[in-house]
A and B are shown apart, each in its own frame.
Chain A
């Protein structure tokens, strides 16, 4: 099927290694952040979120780090698997405003 993110930056990682995907957000007033995974031909899928009163949150094989000083968000994926290959987007919001999405990064897992 047609792929999204054809012109996005790509991160290539060996299977089993850890992946780190970075995102710079724009609004210093944003207080909520989400990482989404989008596979080809599908809508974005929620991975993990974090609020601005935290600087780290862990899920299953994923960790999100938030650095408000430099407006930077990162997603760490442990023991990357071929099924992790997708485009990853960060998104931010403030209060109940709709999410604003970052540019996205394509993760390519090399078996």
Chain B
């Protein structure tokens, strides 16, 4: 299994600001994924980030709101831009080999 770390683990932000979340994997992986988990809900895929190409966004998520970087095979960032209280959520990074996906501990974001 892959070991995945995220920074920050939690943050409280003011509306209108942006937060960049970092995800580090302990081995090289082709695909990395970003999920959102709103309070009391399941996980929803935001986008798939492959190294060397633009991220692929799911319906309802756009690059202007959630820009993603994937500079190498072990690292990715997700930015939550122009935040509003509705963006309060847990943001999870995931990666894997084949079908198996492993998750980071999540970043707990509260927007005031």
Q: What 0/1 pattern do residues 69 to 111 of A give for CB contact below 8 A with B?
A: 0000000000000000000010101001011111110000000
- Bound form: Cα–Cα A98–B39 in Å: 22
Segment at the B interface, from A12-20, A40-48, A58-66 = A40-48
- Bound form: Cα–Cα A100–B108 in Å: 21
Chain B interface size, as a band, is 20 to 34
Task: Answer yes or no: B67 CB below 8 A from chain A CBs.
Answer: no
B residues lining the A interface (CB < 8 Å): 1, 4, 31, 33, 37, 39-45, 48, 90, 92, 98-106, 108
| Extra 12 A-B pairs, beta carbons < 8 Å, given A2-B39, A45-B103, A91-B43 | A4-B37, A4-B39, A43-B4, A43-B105, A44-B92, A46-B100, A89-B43, A96-B31, A96-B98, A98-B33, A98-B101, A104-B42
A residues lining the B interface (CB < 8 Å): 2, 4-8, 32, 34, 36, 41-46, 49, 89, 91, 93, 96, 98-104
